[in-house]
Structure 1
Amino acid sequence: MKRRHLLALSAIVSAAFTFSMPTVASAQTVLKLGWTTADSPTDPYAVGAHAFKDAVEKLTKGSVQVQLYPNRQLGDEKQMMEGVRFGTVDSAIITNAVIAQIEPAFQINDLPFLYSNEAQAQKALDGKVGQDLSALLAKKNIMVLGYMEGGFRQMINNKKPVSAPADVSGVKYRVMQNPVFIDMFTSMGGAAVPMAWGETFTAVQQGTIDGLEIPIAVIDSSKMYEVTKFLSLTNHTYSAIELIMSKRSFDKLNAEQRAAVIEAGKQATAAQRIAVNKNEKALLSGLEKKGMKVNTVGDVSAFRASVQPMYEKAKKTVGESMVNQALDSVK
């Protein structure tokens, strides 16, 4: 009787141990990473997300897994950003102008014609400008793991090509819900229409708006070429897109995992920038083949003059020292 009892107890313990084995394997930490655009091999957000996933999983030897959620699966950018802030979303790749809604200092990156090229922007954001911005956002429980890029933003519309500020006049442009972008198009005589990204394609298609401003890669990945005719290479704003992480999610990691995540952010940002730059030329050629009429704006001095008052206004909202610091970084 005792023998049967011992055998039965042994079987129970063995079964319990067997059942517990998957739990040990699944002790792996999962980080959910969201973004609003398509999971396309040339989409800047997607390229950054995959680069981060690969780097994290390699550097943590698989102890941290990154799950990807494109196409607004975790909400629009503002929703995701608030989720990151309060710890309900682990990480996201968010357009700079949206981050500026909760930390106005980030408006500095969206000032039109501040950066003349990618190298200038990268130097500023990898240096003191970026460090100071990150420190401000950290006070809101959001960590910046990298300043990725979407490429320079361009103007697309269905009315006419843009070669001078006067060409913007009277055209209804969707802009992000950010005062810098509203002021930019208003100062050039355009009609700025603040609108969430998820509503934009249909609004252009139905003629509610005439166009928008957007990086080349996102024109392609979002198929905006299907509903817009003219693409003008204004290079008016360098599109910074921040890889952010919830401080609460970060604090749940052990010391080794935290160090790996920070390093993964650096590696992914470097890889993403190279890939975006490489893809852009091919994408531009492809957009022309898909029917968009492309024109280059060679001299932007008239545009710079038209938006100059924005820099004085920014000194009040962003802070004079931050504006001067950014201007010094591009001299």
Structure 2
Amino acid sequence: MKALLPLIASSAIALSVAAADAKDLIRVAGNFAAEHASSLAMAKFEAELERLSGGEIDVNVFPAQQLGGAAENVQAVKIGAIELMWVGTAYLTRTVPELEVVGLPFQFQSREQAFAIVDGPVGAALDAKLAKEGMTSMGYMELGFRHLTNNVRPIRTIDDIAGLKIRLQPNETHLATFRALGANPVAMDVKELYSALEQNVIDGQENPFAIINVAGYAEVQKNISNTGHFFDFISVAANKKWFDGLDAGKQAMVREAMATAVAYQRELAAEQDAAGLATLVGKGMVFTEVSPELAAALREKTAGVAAETKARLDPDLVTLLDAETAKLGM
């Protein structure tokens, strides 16, 4: 990773030459496909911020791993090689472990519950943790409910999960959840995932329907089930030193443009998710619906993971989470 950072920094510097006449340049990196809701939202951010600033702020958006994988983008923002990124929140948990508090198995029953938590006091507390690591939070987009795919067998019982080699994001709670289900989880950057599936290095993966679709995983995966085991977020984060160096007016414009983009993304993500499964089945994937019995068994088998995760996090944050979830009747 350290060997890659100079390359990222050099690339970012080279990219800035084309915009040398701009008063301010914001390079925005992401690993999501260009047609994903989050990438489309960043295009909206670009247009909105350039409009608000009267062209004084130039935004260059680089989706689809153009400036490296997710883990590389996190490091590049931390050191200031690029100004801003949008990345699956799980990729930040090794820098800010407290983010795992919003990634517990079967934590949310709806996207509305999920956003009520990250848009409230819990989200504010997590933003403070990010700030201590040199990053300014710009909001949370929807990655969505995650579902399991594999090339070995349909998932009808917990026993069908046992022994499967499943790629997961580098999140300790996610990994522990699949260990509890008897799988062999493997932490892997998304940039390596397609080829690993294609070459049968791993048996399967888990992602929201929309990601499975736009990433082309239907080409290399056969079975899909609506397990919905996590609800996942996309963190939008800036290098704190860079953002703090902007004058108050430009900071306000950046935040206003991003708020517009985040709201747009959440709406579009819900639409893409609703259409995603039908599209995947149309591409040849075999859908096996999770029965009420299997859903109950999955929850029971992973119940201890949430408690173990909470036990190793900031107790004040856990208390705050419990209070906020109680207000929502969760």
User: Scaled by the length of structure 1, what TM-score is found?
Assistant: 0.88
CA deviations on 1:105-129 (whole Å, 9 max, x unpaired) are 0011221100111000010010011
- The count of corresponding residues between Structure 1 and Structure 2 is 307
Runs (5+) with no aligned partner, structure 1? 1-22
SS of residue matched to 1:236: coil
SS of residue matched to 2:228: strand
* TM-aligned CA deviation for residue 162 of structure 1: 2.2
Write the distance in 1 (CA, Å) between the matches of 2:316 and 2:305: 15
Runs (5+) with no aligned partner, structure 2? 1-17
Cα 1:291/1:327, change in 2 over 3 Å: farther
State the AA in 2 paired with 1:196: D
Cα 1:251/1:128, change in 2 over 3 Å: same
State the AA in 1 paired with 2:284: G
Q: Does the CA contact (< 8 Å) of 1:47 and 1:275 recur in 2? A: no
The two structures, once aligned, show a CA RMSD in angstroms of 1.8
Q: Does the CA contact (< 8 Å) of 2:37 and 2:272 recur in 1? A: no
Q: Does the CA contact (< 8 Å) of 2:27 and 2:61 recur in 1? A: yes
Write the distance in 2 (CA, Å) between the matches of 1:187 and 1:325: 26
Aligned to 1:247: 240
Alignment match of 2:150 (pick from 153, 157, 166): 157
Cα 1:25/1:143, change in 2 over 3 Å: closer
Write the distance in 2 (CA, Å) between the matches of 1:29 and 1:275: 29
Alignment match of 1:287 (pick from 270, 280, 283): 280
Write the distance in 1 (CA, Å) between the matches of 2:143 and 2:315: 27
CA deviations on 1:263-320 (whole Å, 9 max, x unpaired) are 2222211110001101222222111110011233253222111111112211232233
Q: Does the CA contact (< 8 Å) of 1:144 and 1:242 recur in 2? A: yes
Aligned to 1:70: 63
State the AA in 1 paired with 2:138: L
- Structure 1 segment 73-92 matched on structure 2, within 5 A: 73-92=66-85
- Structure 1 segment 1-331 matched on structure 2, within 5 A: 26-40=21-35, 43-299=36-292, 300-330=295-325, 331=329
Write the distance in 1 (CA, Å) between the matches of 2:99 and 2:165: 25
Cα 1:297/1:111, change in 2 over 3 Å: same
SS of residue matched to 2:229: strand
CA deviations on 1:54-86 (whole Å, 9 max, x unpaired) are 332222222212101112121111111111112
Q: Does the CA contact (< 8 Å) of 1:32 and 1:69 recur in 2? A: yes
Q: Does the CA contact (< 8 Å) of 1:314 and 1:320 recur in 2? A: no
* TM-aligned CA deviation for residue 24 of structure 1: 12
Write the distance in 2 (CA, Å) between the matches of 1:54 and 1:187: 45
User: Scaled by the length of structure 2, what TM-score is found?
Assistant: 0.88
Q: Does the CA contact (< 8 Å) of 2:19 and 2:58 recur in 1? A: no
State the AA in 2 paired with 1:169: A
Cα 1:124/1:24, change in 2 over 3 Å: closer
